[in-house]
Structure 1
């Protein structure tokens, strides 16, 4: 299975896992980022997730509409409001985490701790190489 196929399988499976909670994999990911520390702006969340600010803004707006997060004023920046988890959002995240535990255990059931360590190292190495890739440098075209 290719990396793209695995990404699609994980996204589709995650979507099915939390659909009835009002989440998608993307909404779940952004909501998870909101829980990781003090309240942040949409731009900060996007940087942490390494995705576009516009995409995070669209998802946050949906999460606000559904009552999972709210905006609060930002004492450091008048226009960049902070995204804050609501009680309803915390409940949805708790339900998603409860569902994710057996899902992840099933996914890793055939893997040894050594397999998981190897996968973690390989994924880290690939990520570091991709982040260090110079998109402006001339590259050979493959036939």
Structure 2
């Protein structure tokens, strides 16, 4: 069996991805600590952000799609948010079973409080980085995401 060798870019990207996995774990843990006093976790905060960022109320499946997340996991978190009074379900005029997820006033206040905490935290986290460096890293991440999306399309498997 013949092994494919990594290109220099592939080798560097592998190292970057391992560091990115570690960074992601640390970001999630820091986010959990940051919003714990609000009764949130990073996952709950992320879902509230997706709901807030949507132009209109959406069913859970759309929220999951927008986050590139597993629908069942998003459903579980949305159910927890509903139990805590942060979101509610409303009838969907386009689909009887796929209810729309709507933020409550309590949910809006909690999300705004989380974003207030995030501002000082993210400003501190970005110390020593230029906007140009952050934008360049963002460009690389978005290109990798596009490449992954292109690889998952049926036509790209030929």
For normalisation by structure 1, the TM-score amounts to 0.91
> Are 1:102 and 2:120 matched, yes or no?
yes
Residue in structure 2 matched with residue 84 of structure 1 by the alignment? 102
Unmatched runs of 5 consecutive residues or more in structure 1: 139-143
* Secondary structure at the counterpart of residue 82 of structure 1: strand
- Bigger radius of gyration, 1 or 2? 2
- Per the TM alignment, residue 135 of structure 1 is displaced from its structure 2 partner at its CA by 9.0
Moved over 6 A (4+): none
Residue in structure 1 matched with residue 15 of structure 2 by the alignment? none
* Secondary structure at the counterpart of residue 151 of structure 2: coil
Partners of 1:106 and 1:50 lie apart in 2 by: 28
Partners of 1:134 and 1:117 lie apart in 2 by: 26
Unmatched runs of 5 consecutive residues or more in structure 2: 1-17
Structure 1 residue corresponding to 2:51, chosen from 34, 55, 68: 34
> Are 1:5 and 2:22 matched, yes or no?
yes
> Are 1:130 and 2:152 matched, yes or no?
no
Partners of 1:47 and 1:124 lie apart in 2 by: 17
> Are 1:69 and 2:101 matched, yes or no?
no
Residue in structure 1 matched with residue 11 of structure 2 by the alignment? none
- Per the TM alignment, residue 99 of structure 1 is displaced from its structure 2 partner at its CA by 0.3
* Secondary structure at the counterpart of residue 79 of structure 1: strand
* Secondary structure at the counterpart of residue 96 of structure 2: coil
- Per the TM alignment, residue 130 of structure 1 is displaced from its structure 2 partner at its CA by 1.9
Partners of 1:117 and 1:32 lie apart in 2 by: 21
Residue in structure 2 matched with residue 21 of structure 1 by the alignment? 38
Q: Which has the higher helix share?
A: 2
For normalisation by structure 2, the TM-score amounts to 0.83
Q: CA RMSD in A?
A: 1.6
Partners of 2:114 and 2:99 lie apart in 1 by: 26
